[in-house]
Amino acid sequence: MGILIKNGEIVTASERYIADILCERETITHIDRDIAPPKGMEVVDAKGKFVFPGFIDPHVHIYLPFMGTYAKDTYKTASQAALVGGTTTLIEMCAPSRKDDTLAGFELWMSQAVGKSACDFTFHMSVTKFDDQTEKQLREIVKRGISSFKIYLAYKGAFGVDDTELYRTLKLAKELGVIVTAHCENETLIAERQKELLAAGKIDPGQHHESRPPAVEAEGVHHLMTFAELTGAEAYIVHLSCKEALEQAIAARQRGVRVSVETLIQYLTLDKTCAEKPEFEGAKYVMSPPLRDKSNQPVLWNGLRDGLVQTVATDHCPFDFKTQKVMGKNDFTKIPNGIPSLEDRINLLYTYGVKTGKIDLHTFVNCASTQAAKTFDLFPRKGTIQPGADADLVVFDPNYRGKISAKTHQINVDYSVFEGWKIEGRPSVVTVRGQVVVRNGKFVGKHGHGKFLERKPGHF
């Protein structure tokens, strides 16, 4: 059993060359020019195409009870969509609410994925409360192969922790060598501003960003950085959206705080005017932190280029427009937050980042695969192309031309914020641990082939 990928242009975070890749069972075993195909082995002709390491989305929601409803995807629909879009590993936020038992939550999230996912997966374990019992359970969850926590400074009462819990979580993380991913927005400021806006009759989706301006996010980042500085814990800021927040992260880094920054494909390509679209159309674009003024886009692209921003994720969060976003028709605070984009991240990043010259091919691979693998203890098994690595490969056709549409996407949601957007290039063949799961841009994989990736703290 195996596969030979011939004549492709291999691109990793640091190298670019033409060679053949021999994959035996689940692993890359040999890379060279002119490898003769072993008898009976499938050969994929990648001439004229790039071969990238399988992409990693380090921030997705698939199973998510949230704001009175449930996100629409299952591991079946989401993993299929991920693979068609070139993403071979998902890191989902395991997010039991404050009322739930943490270990039971972990087991519930696992049960949604095991035996169903077509791509590999792991979780960030959300810490939505912190007491003696939770601490014991977190230690057990780390033993079971989780090496990252998630904390929310927003969403008090559901996922959010108070400062004592934040401090204790970071101290535990430091002790265990676990990295803490964090949603950074000041909840009190949001709640007060929401009340003021609603009292003034401002109820439409365009008010969402008024309730959470950049200063709210920058305060959240500053807050987390203070706690990380005093505990020595390593932090990863999820979905950073704006210049003010990035400045706080950079300032902390300069004082010695170990912090990585993730932005999202949505912040790189969309802006707050989308959420101001009339007739409730703006609800499709409501997420937190909100879409920002367009002037933030070059800051984020340049941040990627210059290594100030490490990763690009999706925070994929699929809620239907017609039946779920509509819950906030008369009150923007009730619109389920999230913009689905799992399937489109790589094609958008390539088309609107690489093709426009904003980032080069190595930065593209680095921020969409390699950095996430390094930060979350998956490297070099994932995130690169070298003998011994998992045979997760994306044969990418740069000559493909197409358009994004909800009519053709694999995710289980009734709209796309990228409807009609052009893409230049797409994955034509994708493998997960040596199995072809996408051929000619179509899913041909098996649900259940995806494995839970056990991770140990102490990364690269």
Print the binding letters for residues 155-184 with ligand URP: x by CB under 6 A, - otherwise: ----------------------------x-
Query: In terms of CB distance, is 109 or 443 closer to ligand URP?
Result: 109
CB 388 within 8 A of CB 380: yes
Of the candidates 261, 283, 317, 393, which one interacts with ligand URP according to CB under 6 A? 317
Q: Does 120 bind Zn ion (CB under 5 A)?
A: no
Task: Scan residues 222-261 and list those touching ligand URP (CB under 6 A).
Answer: 239
Q: Which of 6, 49, 61, 358 forms a contact with ligand URP (CB under 6 A)? A: 61
> Which of the stretches 138-146, 208-216, 250-258, 311-319 binds Zn ion when contact is defined by CB under 5 A?
311-319
Kindly tell me which residue out of 189, 259, 275, 287 binds ligand URP, with binding defined by CB under 6 A. Answer: 287
Segment contacting Zn ion by CB under 5 A, of 13-21, 138-146, 310-318, 346-354 = 310-318
Shorter beta-carbon distance to Zn ion: residue 185 or 392 = 185
The residue among 234 and 315 lying less far from Zn ion, judged by its C-beta, is 315
Distance (Å, whole) CA 260 – CA 150: 14
Among 86, 105, 205, 338, binds ligand URP (CB under 6 A): 338
The residue count for the chain: 460
User: Does 288 engage in binding with ligand URP (CB under 6 A)?
Assistant: yes
Identify which of residues 54 and 318 has a Cβ nearer to ligand URP in the complex: 318
**Which tokens is 234 given?**
């390593």
- The mark string for 2-41 relative to ligand URP (x by CB under 6 A, - otherwise) is ----------------------------------------
Nearer Cβ to ligand URP (288/347):
288
State which of residues 234, 315, 344, 377 lies at the interface with Zn ion (CB under 5 A): 315
Which whole-number Å values give the CA distances from 380 to 28, 163, 192, 450, in the listed order? 12, 36, 46, 18
Tell me the site size for ligand URP, rule CB under 6 A. 9
**Binding-site ranges for Zn ion (CB under 5 A):** 315
